[in-house]
A and B are shown apart, each in its own frame.
Chain A
Amino acid sequence: MKVMAQMAMVMNLDKCIGCHTCSVTCKQAWTNRTGTEYVWFNNVETRPGQGYPRRYEDQEEWKGGWTLNKRGRLSLKAGGRWRKLATIFSNPKLPSIKDYYEPWTYDYATLTDAPAQEHTPVARPKSLISGKDMKISWSSNWDDNLGGSAATEKHDPMLAKIADKVKFEFEQTFMFYLPRICEHCLNPSCAASCPSGAIYKRAEDGIVLVDQDRCRGWRMCVSGCPYKKVYFNHKTGKAEKCTFCFPRIEVGLPTVCAETCVGRLRYIGLVLYDADRVLEAASVPDEHDLYEAQRSVLMDPHDPEVVRAAERDGIPRDWIDAAQRSPIHALINVFKVALPLHPEYRTMPMVWYIPPLSPVIDVVRETGEDAEDTGNLFAAIDALRIPVEYLAELFTAGDTVPVDGVLKKLAAMRSYMRDINLGRDPDASIPAAVGMSEEEMYDMYRLLAIAKYDERYVIPPAHAEQAHSLEEIATECSVSEYGGGNPEIFGEGSGSQTPLAVENFRMLQDRQTSDTIASPNDKAARVNLLNWDGKGAPPGMFPPKDADQHHGRGDEQ
Chain B
Amino acid sequence: MSTEVQPEGQQDTQREVGLDGGLSDALVRTRRFFTKGTVSDDLRTLSMKGGRQADDFYRDRWSHDKVVRSTHGVNCTGSCSWKVYVKDGIITWETQQTDYPSVGPDKPEYEPRGCPRGAAFSWYTYSPTRIRYPYVRGVLLQMYREAKSQHGDPVAAWAHIVDNPLRARAYKSARGKGGLVRATWEEATEMVAAAYVHTIRKWGPDRVAGFSPIPAMSMVSHASGARFTSLIGGSMLSFYDWYADLPVASPQVFGDQTDVPESGDWWDAGYLVMWGSNVPVTRTPDAHWMTEARYRGQKVVVVSPDYADNVKFADEWLAIKPGTDGALAMAMGHVVLKEFFVDKQTPYFADYTKKYTDLPYLVALEAVAGGAHRPGKFLTAADLPDHAGEENAHFKTVLVDARTDDLVVPNGSLGDRFGEAGTGRWNLDLGDIDPRLTLLGPGAETMLVELPRFDNVDGAPGSLTRGVPVRRVGETLVTTVFDLMLAQYGVARDGLGGSYATSYDDATAPYTPAWQETITSVPASAAARIAREFAANAEESKGRSMILMGAGTNHWFHSDTIYRGFLGLTTMTGCQGVNGGGWAHYVGQEKCRPVTGWAQLAFGLDWKRPPRQMIHTAYWYLHTNQFRYDTFGADTVSAATGTGKLAGMSTADVIAKSARMGWMPSYPTFNRNPLDLADEARAAGRSVAEHVVDQLKSGDLRFAAEDPDAPENFPRVLAIWRANLLGSSGKGNEYFLKHLLGTDSSLRATEASESQRPQEVDWHEEAPEGKLDLLLTLDFRQTSTTIFSDVVLPAATWYEKHDLNTTDMHPFVHSFNPAIAPPWQTRTDWDAFQTIAAKFSELATTHLGTRHDVVAVPLLHDTPDAMANPHGVVRDWKHGECEPVPGVTMPKIVEVERDYAAVGAQMQALGPLLDTLGTTTKGVTYDVTASIDYLRAKNGAVRGGPADGRPSLKRDVHACEAILALSGTTNGHLATQGFKTLEKRTGRLLHDLAAEHEGKQITFADTQAAPVPVITSPEWSGSETGGRRYSPFTINVERLKPWHTLTGRQHFYLDHDWMTELGEGLPVYRPPLNMGALFSEPDVGDVGELGVTVRYLTPHNKWSIHSEYQDNLFMLSLSRGGQTIWMSDKDAAKVGVEDNDWIEAVNRNGVVVARAIVSHRMPEGTVYMHHAQDRLIDVPIAETSGKRGGIHNSLTRILVKPSHLIGGYAQLSFAFNYLGPTGNQRDEVTVIRKRSQEVTY
Within 8 A of B (CB), among A181-232: 187-188, 191-192, 197, 199-204, 209, 211-214
B600 to chain A, nearest CB (A): 35
Within 8 A of A (CB), among B86-127: 87-90, 92-96, 98, 106-109, 111-116, 119-120, 122-123, 126-127
Give 1 or 0 for each of A455-478: 1 = CB within 8 Å of chain B CB. 000000000001111111111110
Q: Chain A residues near B92 (CB, 8 Å)? A: 28, 501, 504-505
- A123/B176 contact (C-beta < 8 A), A142-B1120, A203-B47, A533-B128 known: no
B130 to chain A, nearest CB (A): 9
A298 to B294 Cα, complex, angstroms: 31
B7-15, B234-242, B602-610, B935-943: which lies at the interface: B7-15
Do the beta carbons of B295 and A445 come within 8 Å of each other?
yes
Q: How many of A's residues come within 8 Å of B, CB to CB?
A: 180
Do the beta carbons of B50 and A466 come within 8 Å of each other?
yes
B684 within 8 A of A: no
Do the beta carbons of B1160 and A149 come within 8 Å of each other?
yes
B26-34, B615-623, B625-633, B921-929: which lies at the interface: B26-34
Do the beta carbons of A116 and B292 come within 8 Å of each other?
no
Q: Chain A residues near B291 (CB, 8 Å)? A: 14-15, 17, 263, 265
A179 to B949 Cα, complex, angstroms: 59
For B52, the closest partner residue in chain A by CB is: A469
For B91, the closest partner residue in chain A by CB is: A508
- A73/B19 contact (C-beta < 8 A), A421-B298, A505-B87 known: yes
Picked from B9, B294, B1119, the residue with its CB within 8 Å of the CB of A139 is B1119
Do the beta carbons of B307 and A416 come within 8 Å of each other?
no
Picked from A76, A188, A285, A472, the residue with its CB within 8 Å of the CB of B20 is A76
B443 within 8 A of A: no
B698 within 8 A of A: no
Picked from A32, A140, A171, the residue with its CB within 8 Å of the CB of B1118 is A140
B918 within 8 A of A: no
B896 within 8 A of A: no
Do the beta carbons of B108 and A175 come within 8 Å of each other?
no
Within 8 A of B (CB), among A499-514: 499-502, 504-505, 508-509, 511-512
For A517, the closest partner residue in chain B by CB is: B128
Do the beta carbons of A120 and B1188 come within 8 Å of each other?
yes
A284 to B1160 Cα, complex, angstroms: 40
A334 to B677 Cα, complex, angstroms: 81
Picked from A29, A149, A150, A262, the residue with its CB within 8 Å of the CB of B114 is A262
A258 to B751 Cα, complex, angstroms: 57
Do the beta carbons of A306 and B87 come within 8 Å of each other?
no
Do the beta carbons of A121 and B787 come within 8 Å of each other?
yes
Q: Chain B residues near A187 (CB, 8 Å)? A: 44-45
For B4, the closest partner residue in chain A by CB is: A296
B1084 within 8 A of A: no
Do the beta carbons of A122 and B27 come within 8 Å of each other?
no
For A466, the closest partner residue in chain B by CB is: B50
A532 to B1117 Cα, complex, angstroms: 13
- A474/B1119 contact (C-beta < 8 A), A122-B1241, A146-B1161, A191-B46 known: no
Picked from A82, A199, A416, A468, the residue with its CB within 8 Å of the CB of B24 is A82
Q: Chain A residues near B9 (CB, 8 Å)? A: 284-286, 289
- A141/B823 contact (C-beta < 8 A), A112-B131, A203-B49, A358-B313 known: no
Do the beta carbons of B315 and A422 come within 8 Å of each other?
no
A420 to chain B, nearest CB (A): 7
- A248/B115 contact (C-beta < 8 A), A150-B1132, A188-B45, A201-B46 known: no
Do the beta carbons of B1158 and A452 come within 8 Å of each other?
no
A72 within 8 A of B: yes
A371 to B299 Cα, complex, angstroms: 11
B755 within 8 A of A: no
A118 within 8 A of B: yes
B119 to chain A, nearest CB (A): 4
B990 to chain A, nearest CB (A): 29
Do the beta carbons of B174 and A109 come within 8 Å of each other?
no
B314 within 8 A of A: yes
Picked from B63, B87, B787, B1163, the residue with its CB within 8 Å of the CB of A170 is B1163
Picked from A108, A111, A173, A247, the residue with its CB within 8 Å of the CB of B1160 is A173
A193 to B264 Cα, complex, angstroms: 49
Give 1 or 0 for each of B513-555: 1 = CB within 8 Å of chain A CB. 0000000000000100100000001001100000000000000
Q: Chain B residues near A82 (CB, 8 Å)? A: 23-24, 27
B35-43, B145-153, B217-225, B761-769: which lies at the interface: B35-43
Q: Chain A residues near B120 (CB, 8 Å)? A: 24, 28
Do the beta carbons of A414 and B280 come within 8 Å of each other?
no
Q: Chain B residues near A300 (CB, 8 Å)? A: 1-3
A223 to B526 Cα, complex, angstroms: 51
Q: Chain B residues near A277 (CB, 8 Å)? A: 3
For A476, the closest partner residue in chain B by CB is: B56
Q: Chain A residues near B1132 (CB, 8 Å)? A: 150
Q: Chain B residues near A103 (CB, 8 Å)? A: 1117
For B107, the closest partner residue in chain A by CB is: A450
Give 1 or 0 for each of B1090-1129: 1 = CB within 8 Å of chain A CB. 0000000000001000000001011011111110001011
18 sample A-B contacts, Cβ–Cβ < 8 Å, listed by A number: A17-B288, A18-B309, A19-B115, A73-B18, A111-B129, A136-B1121, A136-B1122, A170-B1161, A170-B1162, A201-B47, A211-B54, A263-B287, A283-B17, A293-B7, A299-B3, A300-B3, A359-B314, A473-B63
**Given A108-B1111, A149-B1161, A197-B37, 4 other A-B contacts at CB below 8 A?**
A151-B1139, A201-B48, A469-B59, A530-B1113
